[in-house]
Amino acid sequence: MNHEEGLQALNDGDLKTAIPLLAQAVQDTAYSSEALNHAYTLALYRAGEKTRLAYAAIEIGDFLLQSNPALAMDYFQRAFLGGELDASCRRYIGEILEGWAAPNGTAGSANGRPITKVAHVVGSLQSDHEPVRLVGSLIQSLRQQGVESQVFTTEWASAWFFNSNGIQTQSPHTLPGAIVASTDGNFIERAERIAAAIRASDVDAVFYHADLNEQITARVAAFRPANLQVNVAYGFGMDTDFFDGFVHLKKQGIAASHHSTQPRVWIPASSDIAERIRECPPDMRHLMGLGAAETVSATLGDLQQVSEPKYLYAVTGLLKVFPNHFHLFAGNGDVKAIRAALHAEGVLPRVRFLGAISDTASVMAVTDVYLCPFRKFDESPLMEAMGAYRPCVVARNSSDPSQNSAAEILNIPELIADSDVAYLQIAQGLLRDAEARKRASDLVACRFQSEFASELLGRKYLEFLSRIGSH
């Protein structure tokens, strides 16, 4: 009876009632009922119970592994909806995929011939899918090196779990000529078709632009449809033995511990934000309610990164010294503690919380100086700020050199602070003097163009493939 009551409560949207009833139901049936397994994980997902969803989905997937491996993959993929799984869970799922992997054959080589055509495997062509923008830039840069590209999608999130309506809205103009995967069949059948299409394309190497959360993409790679396979890691990556090398977009990724001993390289995604800023209206400050601002600083990313008292002290100090200065925060997170701290110092009226934004161009268009968080750090916003040629202020972490990726990326001594006081002094100097901002902007532009411009991507990726071949 509890089973029916739990299903009815889920249908009624009563998650508080549904979750304990369905939790008991899946235990009573020992995960043998797909209807109950699905309902339980769906209830956890809708309720935002991320940790419980992750571990419940792994347990269900583990139960299904021998009898229905394709459905097990479905549940392993659900587990990642709870956020980043811990290293042991990722390794467990990676080991399962390694057990299914095809023999290496002539892995790590292009049969001695030069690289003339490569494939890019992406989750979808949705414009908000992170790899789409990078792949577009990479294809153009590779073409300048005489290398053609073919894009394949896996549609890993379509016709699955909460999204049962098939392929989501695509933006085919972003990657012309892409081969969009069919969503018919189970996860393994879908992966087999994609792998067959890659084999038929006769490419010299395949770049898989995905992390382990894309289980169909991972299964395609495990079929080893090409001799030379590289995982382009946007987060924790796949870290499995059926890749011949790994490209990390984030410096923290390459510094982390890894299972696979294959070659790795840090090649950050470039940014086309300068072009996007040119498309913004010239009166963006007025449109954003910043007409009274003489100068504007900004910080992007999870608000947890900027809730540190020392960082808020620095922002508060700038707002007190410069009465016509405004600061922007853009990112997810709880604003209550930050607002309270700024309110207590009397500077809250000149602070704007923009929430999560899909495109940082509008923020950078109105920003004079980018203030990087002190301790916790996401590389992507810094790369966007540098791509916009904005002066960036970064704090060096003297107590933990492994946390200095921001300073290593910026690599402009005049803009890197060795203490909290120095951070504030550098920022004050930039806000006080327009000429100082211009000089700093030129330094940032030079650094970005020489190391991170999109035109350099193709050469860097090909050099890495050559390194793998000689490994």
Q: What is the pTM of this model?
A: 0.88
pLDDT of residue 170 exceeding 70, the answer is no
Residue 341 has a pLDDT of: 94
Is the CB of residue 333 less than 8 Å from the CB of residue 303?
Answer: yes
396-426 residues labelled b (16+ CB within 10 A) or e (exposed): bbeeeeebbbbbebbebeebbbeeeeebbeb
Residue 162 has a pLDDT of: 81
Given pLDDT bands bounded at 50, 70 and 90, which one contains residue 379? confident
Residue 160 DSSP class = B
User: And the tokens for 122?
Assistant: 């992406």
Q: How far apart are CA 325 and CA 295, in angstroms?
A: 5
pLDDT of residue 63 exceeding 70, the answer is yes
Residue 248 has a pLDDT of: 94
Instruction: Compute the half-sphere exposure of residue 170: CA atoms within 13 Å on the CB side of its CA.
Output: 21
Question: What is the average pLDDT value for the chain, to the nearest integer?
Answer: 91
Residue 168 has a pLDDT of: 57
Sign of the C-alpha dihedral, residues 142, 195, 233, 78? positive
pLDDT of residue 115 exceeding 90, the answer is yes
Residue at token pair 């916790």? 376
Residue 254 has a pLDDT of: 83
Summarize the confidence of residues 309-330 as an average pLDDT: 95
Given pLDDT bands bounded at 50, 70 and 90, which one contains residue 304? confident
pLDDT of residue 273 exceeding 80, the answer is yes
Summarize the confidence of residues 131-135 as an average pLDDT: 90
Nearest of 230, 245, 266 to residue 120 by alpha carbon: 230
Give the DSSP letter string of 304-323: GGG--HHHHHHHHHHHHH-T
Summarize the confidence of residues 16-42 as an average pLDDT: 95
Given pLDDT bands bounded at 50, 70 and 90, which one contains residue 79? very high
- Report the chain's terminal Cα–Cα distance, integer Å: 61
pLDDT of residue 110 exceeding 60, the answer is no
- Structural domains present in the chain: 2-83 (1.25.40), 117-270+455-469 (3.40.50.11380), 273-452 (3.40.50.2000)
Q: How far apart are CA 287 and CA 281, in angstroms?
A: 9
Residue 171 has a pLDDT of: 56
Given pLDDT bands bounded at 50, 70 and 90, which one contains residue 128? confident
pLDDT of residue 142 exceeding 60, the answer is yes
Q: What is the 3-state secondary structure (H, E, C) of 184-212?
A: CCCHHHHHHHHHHHHHHHCCCEEEEECCC
Longest dimension (CA), the chain: 75
pLDDT of residue 400 exceeding 70, the answer is no
Instruction: Compute the half-sphere exposure of residue 276: CA atoms within 13 Å on the CB side of its CA.
Output: 18
| Percent of the chain topping pLDDT 90 | 75
